[in-house]
Amino acid sequence: MDRILAEVESYLRRQRPYVLLFQLGQGLPDAAQRKRLTDHMRQNEAAIVRVVKGLGVVVPSTIARKLMTAILWFAPPAVPHALFATTAEAQAWGEALIQGKRSNAA
């Protein structure tokens, strides 16, 4: 988690627009990880809104995707966001956001 947040902060400091895509492994983030992510998003919201064009999460499991949808419903990111079953879907969505062809969730 520390490595991921440090990498995100590095991208935010560059001040260049990007789409953040990541893949969840076998499980969802636990409560402590969700709190750290939420705290990070709140603390960096202004920078996130300025440079992050979207947040895409690849969640191969249908059940986990539904649970993640519920989590995001309670704590939605301040940028367009979407969940995907495959990396290819997430990449196509991210490329469309960067090119300005899509402005909201998938």
| Nearest of 39, 54, 49 to residue 1 by alpha carbon | 39
Give the DSSP letter of residue 23: E
pLDDT on residue 29: 75
Average pLDDT over residues 41-48: 89
Would the pLDDT of 7 be above 90?
Answer: no
pLDDT on residue 2: 79
Give the helix/strand (H/E) hosting 93: helix 87-98
| 5-19, 27-41, 72-86: the lowest-pLDDT one | 27-41
Its pTM stands at: 0.81
CA distances from 88 to 2, 59, 78, 79 (A): 26, 12, 24, 20
- Domain boundary assignment for the chain: 2-98
